[in-house]
Structure 1
């Protein structure tokens, strides 16, 4: 799996110029972008022992790490290269190549010791590169390890016993890998074949006891390596090629190198890829690029100030920095969420508090995720205090938004009423009642408007209070004008009553005259009617007499006619008898005797 290069080439991380260390902030800017856990592999060793070659191979490149040929002599220190980890997903492999130890041009071994100490402090796997064999001379040259207790503190306490607690150093120090270059011996002890790891452990055996006097540098180095570096590994490398080709080692292809050297290099790289652990902090916190950058700043600052780098202080400083950043990040998230979720103004305080609880919970989760060693929840408490302060700001904003909204509504809704007030429309009898009625109608209209917020009634109350003077003036004017109007009305009523009485008297007089006239007319009419009745009665009597006379005449005529009829009937009957007798006489021969 090929590494994805996160840097186009290595950059100087810690410059060592004229014996002074200085952190390159451009390199830190790159580290800030590395948010994944980092596997930090640092390599130290004597000047020109082939360290850069191994680091190039770890980066799966050939020539980028090359301090001896591409960097000016006054630019020393530690160089960094960040690449994507070949085997571990979501991890970054950080390679630290250090300037060669024992460079005669420097003339000061103190800087070498600090370079060695920084490589130990910053790495999760520490590679020591040497030439030849692991013998007394090689161990003597590794005297830097014996000075670590003077250059590194695990705790801020000044107790000598705590400062020199090798067990604690062993738990905090990186894994140790010793690479032996140009190894030409057979791996055998007493005729028995051994592994490279066994070769290392045998070389680290202390020849004298800890109480023996006169321990030499090599014995001290053995003891310190055993105590400080609990996990140890050894790789041996045969010479890569003949001497003529070594000057151009970086340009040689694998088929131009010794087969065993190529195999040894592959084994070394595979081990680093598979076994090298991610960098962790005391207590188990995972290190990423920004955390590593903060550690670098802390350690270098301690060195340049003449102090001793302290792991505990570095972690505390890192915790202070990261937790402060986590607080700010969580607080910023809280503000953003509140701004997104809260629709100002809220109708109730509880609505705002409910949203606050949700946003606070999400912000706290972000803080817990990003925080580091928040002892006694100091920073979480700080976050809660700041969140509550922000809540107070949001509550004030909510009130302001509500006041602004309500004020605008009141100005809009009550503007007709205010215009009437300016025009003195209510300064008339009964005007206060009209004013109150319109005011109540507008209050009802105002209360029906949505999204007024929590200051709706208070703002209304203050608005009405501000208009109370005018309302009182209207009321007072209404009372005065009403009293005057009542007096005028009373006077008008009395005048109307008098006029009405006069009018009523005149009407009564006219009525009496009409009554007299009507009486006179009635008498005349009665007299006329009486005369007419008498005339009618006379005529009726005459008519009745005439009718009676006519009746009598008619009765006499009828009687006469009846008498005539009876006479005629008798005559007719007599004639009929005579005729009968006549017929009878004719029928006989005798004579008729009358």
Structure 2
């Protein structure tokens, strides 16, 4: 579990922390977000669940939310007709969802129809609490009757105040879209003293009781059409809905205003059983907050809240899809920038270590890239997620090229400091060969000893990093080539015709080919480098190879030549070997 979730767990459950203000609304109807709350919620980088509650003033809704924080009095209960909750209040805790502990934001709203508020204030409060929730509780007293739907008429306003998607033409794009963004809806009937029965007086379960109550009235007192519009809005907005009833918690109604101070032992058993059933129902249906199938982190939630608030404060209609797209784009762009920095830092650390060749570089790069992608795997959401992932990969590819060039420059510079030492060691060893030439060593033995000296010194150099052709050139030009020329001049003065045919340049060429063969096996970095000696050697090589007829030449001899040229793998049959030989000779 991430550090932020551990922090929530340590201070969020059972320690009687008090709720804090999430946002408030001034007398002009403007919403003000409280930045301390925004920072605390933004720090939650994991997926987050949100439970909020709304209801008429002084219906005991704050007491229900205390269930979720396991602390009596976390959300204060009003002690007068003036509700104590002003705006939206919150408590950050956690809950077990799908088998793992998940950050949970619990939100309480100011009571609807309070004496000091108006319909616009209530509509704003209700709109925001529904929009941010993954589980929404509506708390009311008594039974489901016409008055219940009169009190909930603001739901119709929400349906008009919010758009899920932009309108297309004359019709609405929201007809079937609310289910993608709206929370699970739970209607809690408090102080319910009657059995749940249908029109015929038969006892029915709570779910059926709710669905029956949501059927349109055919006739009745008051504004029947308004109540029916409320019913239709509820059914359209909340595809997933439930109902739970709770009996009165105390026999003496005068004690209800002091429930936060009443010992739990004095509450009615039926009420306590109902609370446990309510809690189980909430946790059974509780999920993390999602929009269009994508889960929101605390950071994402804060971004989307800001979008909603900006729209409401400017008198615009909050459009959920466009707001979500804006949040997805903003988070993706930030994730790409953060990911690039994390990748670049990781690569700098990797190449400053023991990365000697291409294989080691590629291995280190794959490891760094995997760590970065794992860290940002949930950063790209929404319908543009694949586009942002592709952009992220392209950005990492570009940085990889930059890091490869940095590494190449670094390792080459390091080798250039070592190449002179390696060349000096080679010259010392070649002096010993020179002395043996003077003492009558055979030509074949001389060639083998020289080749061994060169292999040893270049091999030691290769252990320090990749051998660019430029490094090999510098090695031979640092006194090695001149020493080879001296050795073969002495051999020639002794009349060794074989040595004259080979020459110093030929041995040098042979070792160069061996190095080149290793480079083609991905041990060395490809780099095109030309030198004057290469031109001389190529002319010598062409003249000699023109005389070879591959059709009559020995198979093993042809394989040896191809191996010297760095051809890998060597073909298996004569026909392919001859073809490879001709092709390489033309080069």
What TM bracket, shorter-length normalisation? 0.5 to 0.7
Q: Which of 315, 323, 326 matches 2:332? A: 323
SS in 1 for 2:186: strand
Q: Which of 133, 142, 166 matches 1:156? A: 166
* Kept in 1: contact 2:83–2:111 (CA 8 A): no
Distance 1:459 1:374 in 2: 51
The yes-or-no answer on 1:184 pairing with 2:190 is no
Q: What is the 5 A alignment of 1:267-416? A: 267-282=277-292, 284-343=293-352, 348=357, 351-373=360-382, 375=384, 377-406=386-415, 408-409=417-418
Q: 1:368 to 1:270 in 2, by over 3 A?
A: closer
* Kept in 2: contact 1:374–1:380 (CA 8 A): no
Deviation string 1:336-369 (CA, Å, 9 cap, x unpaired) is: 4423433569655565345434543554454445
SS in 2 for 1:30: helix
Distance 2:397 2:68 in 1: 51
More helix by share: 1
Distance 1:13 1:145 in 2: 22
Distance 1:324 1:78 in 2: 30
Cα offset for 1:462? 8.4
Question: Where in structure 1 are there 5+ consecutive unaligned residues?
Answer: 416-440, 472-594
TM-score by length of 1: 0.64
Q: 1:58 to 1:363 in 2, by over 3 A?
A: closer
Distance 1:328 1:387 in 2: 10
Cα offset for 1:255? 2.8
Partner of 1:99 in structure 2? 110
SS in 2 for 1:101: coil
* Kept in 2: contact 1:205–1:222 (CA 8 A): yes
Q: Which has the larger radius of gyration?
A: 1
The yes-or-no answer on 1:206 pairing with 2:234 is no
What's the Cα RMSD here?
3.7
* Kept in 1: contact 2:76–2:84 (CA 8 A): no
Question: Where in structure 2 are there 5+ consecutive unaligned residues?
Answer: 1-8, 425-452, 483-587
SS in 1 for 2:87: strand
The yes-or-no answer on 1:245 pairing with 2:230 is no
Q: What is the 5 A alignment of 1:555-594? A: none
Deviation string 1:467-493 (CA, Å, 9 cap, x unpaired) is: 9xxx9xxxxxxxxxxxxxxxxxxxxxx
Distance 1:461 1:111 in 2: 81
Distance 2:79 2:413 in 1: 71
Q: Which of 2, 9, 12 matches 1:6? A: 12
Distance 2:74 2:375 in 1: 39
Distance 2:197 2:350 in 1: 74
Q: What is the 5 A alignment of 1:527-566? A: none
Deviation string 1:486-530 (CA, Å, 9 cap, x unpaired) is: xxxxxxxxxxxxxxxxxxxxxxxxxxxxxxxxxxxxxxxxxxxxx
Q: 1:193 to 1:350 in 2, by over 3 A?
A: closer
* Kept in 1: contact 2:60–2:77 (CA 8 A): no
Partner of 1:458 in structure 2? 470
Q: 1:412 to 1:73 in 2, by over 3 A?
A: farther
| Alignment size in residue pairs | 434
